[in-house]
Amino acid sequence: MIDPETTAQLDDEARHILRANDKEGYTVPTKGLYPFQWNWDSALTALGIATYDANRAWQEIEKLLSAQWDNGMVPHIVFWQHEEGYFPGPGEWQSGQTPPTSGITQPPVAATVVRQLASSLPGDHGARVTPMLHALDRWHQWFADARDPDGRGVVAIMHPWESGRDNLPDWDEPLSHVDTSTVGTFLRRDTQIVNEAERPQNHDYDHYMALVQFGRNCQWDVKTIAETCPFWVAEPAMNAILRRAERDLVALALQFNLPEIARRATARLARLGQGFNQLWSDDAQGYVTLNLRHDKKDNRLTSGSWLSLYGGPENDNRAKAHYSTLMEWRRKISFTVPSFDPNDAAFDDIRYWRGPVWAMINWMIATGLAEHGRHDLAEMIANDTAALIAKSGFREYFSPVTGQGGGGKDFSWTAAMWLYWAS
């Protein structure tokens, strides 16, 4: 447990970070490394802002949704202002949008955040929330149409960045089918700002850029992408987060008297509920990544596997399997939840998404655990998160082995999760 004095200091620091990262209407994930608006960062950060400024929290979501494409996609980065320090910038993406954006999306946590805000903030939110629900409905429909055109009940990602878990070992095999021979040379900016050992490697970036090139060459046409993108993968985190978001959208649509949206979201939710089972692995006793292009499962567990509880509902036998594996991981390391199986050879406790703990993933996992009655495990994860922040500050992520912080400093979603949940 953290003592009250330290808690109060961390509260102040967290609010200070969120205010310092505020660009008037949106919040950057961290200065320097990520100088624009990122999709799921912004939505999760709104939860923290809501603890001291309700109006500003709503603005965060409104600003993000204002960059929605005509086809319904809400992009993963919005380049609201010119800034040289990030690669790849608007010139690489060539999305043709105003404001310039990337050409892909990110995990759709926004509906879940809107539901949390609408239920926790005082007042009648109808006028503010209704346009958001229309936008969220269009975005979720885009997922169904563009990323699951065959209607099999799982949505695909076309780029590791779309998952938000950039260099997860799960992508290594699917990326091996991506031709990088036309990528050429480029200058990474991230490794000028943070230690190389904490970032994806150059060969990862070659593959990331090959996929950006692919999208750009087909002008981000969703049909071409679904039919021919060499990276086409279904993974449990994206699918669980979308399931959760659809459930929250149904609840919001009923609350705010939008029956058509409730009907569409209910139908999409049913499809996703059935499809999720395709990601189950008997070998791993958990949900795993499925390479849809090559019909090949990766039988390794990741922090995304536990999100089935958040996407839920989960059946009893599978839930029990999750609890026992989670505790087995916990005995192996010092802080939950590592982003990748600590027993696997590819585990790396400090290299970004190949092992480190992320506060906002912890919040989602803990939420799912609590909803399935495992308040003890939810509390363990909250306590671990608080201990990491108290030990290493508001870093982008943390080593599950040493508790050392990694990546960017003064990070918005870590500060937000502290204020909203872990403190």
- Laid out side by side, the sheet with 233-234 consists of 156-157, 233-234, 289-291, 296-298
We find the least distance from the C-beta atom of residue 367 to ligand 2M8, in angstroms, to be 18
Q: Which is nearer to ligand 2M8, 232 or 353 (CB)?
A: 353
Minimum distance between the CB of residue 287 and ligand 2M8, rounded to whole angstroms?
A: 19
Q: For ligand 2M8, which residue of 40, 143, 340, 347 counts as binding (CB under 6 A)?
A: 40
Annotation marks residue 166 as catalytic: yes
Q: If binding means CB under 6 A, how many residues of this protein chain bind ligand 2M8?
A: 10
Longest CA–CA span in the chain (Å) reads 56
Nearer to ligand 2M8, 312 or 408 (CB): 408
Q: Among residues 14 and 118, whose Cβ is nearest to ligand 2M8?
A: 14
Hey, what are 4's tokens? Answer: 């009250």
From 34-42, 168-176, 288-296, 305-313, span contacting ligand 2M8 (CB under 6 A):
34-42
Cβ 161 to ligand 2M8 shortest distance, Å: 4
Reading the block at residue 19, the tokens are: 């205010």
Active-site pick, 166, 246, 314, 384: 166
* Residue 78 in tokens: 């919005």
Tell me the closest approach of the beta carbon of residue 318 to ligand 2M8, in angstroms: 26
Instruction: Give 39 or 59: the residue with its C-beta nearer to ligand 2M8.
Output: 39
Q: Looking at beta carbons only, is 107 or 275 nearer to ligand 2M8?
A: 107
Q: How far is the CB of 76 from ligand 2M8 (least distance, A)?
A: 6
User: Is 150 annotated as catalytic?
Assistant: no
Report, in Å, the least distance between residue 166 CB and ligand 2M8.
5
Query: Should residue 41 be labelled a site residue for ligand 2M8 when binding is judged by CB under 6 A?
Result: yes
Residue closest to ligand 2M8, measured at CB: 164
The rounded distance, in Å, linking the Cα atoms of 137 and 99 is 22
Least Å from the CB of residue 358 to ligand 2M8 = 8
Q: How far apart are CA 35 and CA 50, in angstroms?
A: 22
- 248, 349, 396, 410: the catalytic one is 396
Q: Nearest CA to 276 among 287, 284, 292?
A: 287
CA angle 360, 288, 162 (to 5 degrees): 55
Compose the 66-105 pattern: x for residues touching ligand 2M8 by CB under 6 A, - for all others: ----------x-----------------------------
- Subset of 128-157 contacting ligand 2M8 (CB under 6 A): none
- The correct pick among 15, 22, 35, 38 for binding ligand 2M8 (CB under 6 A) is 38
Binding mask 155-174 for ligand 2M8 (x = CB under 6 A): ------x--x-x--------
How many Cβ atoms are within 10 Å of 90's Cβ, its own excluded? 18
Q: Which is nearer to ligand 2M8, 73 or 262 (CB)?
A: 73
Least Å distance, CB 14 to ligand 2M8, is 16
Chain centroid to Cα 41, Å, comes to: 8
The 173-192 site mask, x for binding ligand 2M8 (CB under 6 A), equals: -----------------x--
What sign for the dihedral angle of Cα 421, 131, 157, 37? negative
Q: Which of 12, 9, 63 is CA-nearest to residue 36?
A: 63
Q: Which is nearer to ligand 2M8, 197 or 270 (CB)?
A: 197
Decide whether 76 or 271 has the Cβ nearer to ligand 2M8. Answer: 76
List contacts with ligand 2M8 (CB under 6 A): 29, 34, 38, 40-41, 76, 161, 164, 166, 190
Q: Which residues are catalytic?
A: 166, 396
